[in-house]
Amino acid sequence: MVFSTSIFIYLFLPITLLIYYIAPKKSKNFIILLSGLVFYSWGEPIYVVVMLISTMIDYFAGLVMNHFEGKKLPRKLCLIVSVVMNLGLLGVFKYSGFIAENINAIAGSQIIDINNMNFFGIDFLPMNMLPIGISFFTFQSMSYSIDLYMGNVKVQKNPISFAAFVTLFPQIVAGPIVRYDDVAKELDDRTITIDLIYDGIIRFIIGLSKKVLIANSIGALWTAVKSTDISQVSVVSSWLGILAFTFQIYFDFSGYSDMAIGLGKMMGFHFPENFNYPYLSKSISEFWRRWHITLGSWFKSYVYFPLGGNRKGMPRTIMNLAITWFLTGVWHGASWNFILWGSLYGVVIILEKLFLGKWLQKIPAVFCHIYTMLLVILGWVLFDTADLPTAFAYAANMFGAGGTPFIDSTAMYQISTYGITFIICIIGCTDLPKLAVEYLKKKLPLLINYGGIAGLMGMFVMCAAYLVDQTYNPFLYFNF
């Protein structure tokens, strides 16, 4: 099920919240579990089993580790089993097809049937299956076992409460990646107030508007450009297309995070923030401190720091960064595009740590912004093209090496059609709207109190009107 659909907004959400609010306190986690299973199984009734398997792995791992409290070896073995089994689920469902394709390519023949997972005539599972959000819920569930082993959290003995943590529907398929420690206290005891529900509704509408009114609108341009043969796309159109995706993925993903955080508040939870105006960054290192914050935090806590972080000298730091960013690319998807995308970010961050960061501090901020956004935009070319040859051809075309005109009538039409949308996107991805609201709150509080509500209702009505003609508009990060 998708947040930005009529069936979620008008049927699933009100019914779920009504039952949740009137249910006794002891039953609320069961309602969360049940609603999460319904939410996830709505589109993928079979793959809900995968999520439940991941949940059970870490729940029982927690019980066993708690049983062997103070005994390092059995606890470590239990952690290894948990991590291997969770990564095994990811490997089978997300990466087996990619691995099989490359084995076939190296062998020069189809020794593995990708569609039927047939290996030398032996049938296993189909390799073209990808449960929605598997990278999110496995990382979330696995973090509990790791934190428990490290002594950062206490064991959760109630299976309903632990399952509620994993299946909490607001963030089950696309984040934020909520660690057990983030919600441990609220799982056992949370207070739902009118103010919290009100704040949640506002945050949800803002996120819905980002997705429906901005991301979907500007994304139509990228869809049109991407579906056109690159030899027919002018230099200007190629820039307009990837700029459109640059804004689309931000408003789509940050919109989902806003909606998830808002829904969490409606249910009494406080999820961590996932974005902090990343396109205002003045370095790639800063960009990744502002973009998909919970993923960066996860890799820092469970990969980079355990490897040694920056505590064992520069050569070891470089190696740790390289491993972390390679795995970040792999996490995003099973393709050479994602592997190269993550690895290149790792290279740039290493260079910034070595010398580039000091150089950036000495030049005007505007050039730092240009440097950062240029690399981010080129990164998005790798991120959302079909394969490496397509990505390289598209990037070459952006710089006039594709033999296409600099500008043509199509580009002029795109500018005239999407010009205002681009302006809205540019303003919307900065903190200017937030600063304006804060200023008006001080100067004209009544205008903000009443006008703000009217504005939000207006945005909701526009979203509702848009959704009437839309049957399915998934979020981009559902694929991860």
Separation CA 296–CA 293 (nearest Å): 5
Which of these, 121, 80, 115, 110, lies nearest to 96 by C-alpha position? 115
Which H or E element spans position 367?
Answer: helix 365-383
Are 47 and 129 contacting, i.e. CB atoms less than 8 angstroms apart?
yes
Give the DSSP letter of residue 354.
I
Q: Is 319 helix (H, G, I), strand (E, B) or coil?
A: helix
Helix axes of 159-167 and 48-67: crossing angle, nearest 10 degrees: 130
Catalytic residue among 67, 292, 332, 369: 332
Beta bridge partners of 413: none
Residue 275, both tokens: 């974005």
C-alpha distances in Å from residue 40, one per residue of 11, 48, 171, 415 = 15, 7, 11, 39
Are 116 and 123 contacting, i.e. CB atoms less than 8 angstroms apart?
yes
Residue 362, both tokens: 């000495």
Are 256 and 342 contacting, i.e. CB atoms less than 8 angstroms apart?
no
Q: What share of the chain is helix, strand, coil (3-state, %, to 5)?
A: 75, 0, 25
**Strand order, beta sheet including 118-119:** 112-113, 118-119, 122-123
Residue 44, both tokens: 């993928």
C-alpha distances in Å from residue 77, one per residue of 61, 64, 101, 144 = 10, 10, 33, 15
For tokens 């002594």, the residue is 151
Are 81 and 61 contacting, i.e. CB atoms less than 8 angstroms apart?
yes
Q: Tell me, yes or no, if 270 is annotated catalytic.
A: no
C-alpha distances in Å from residue 44, one per residue of 18, 50, 190, 364 = 25, 10, 30, 50
Q: Among all residues, which ones are annotated catalytic?
A: 332
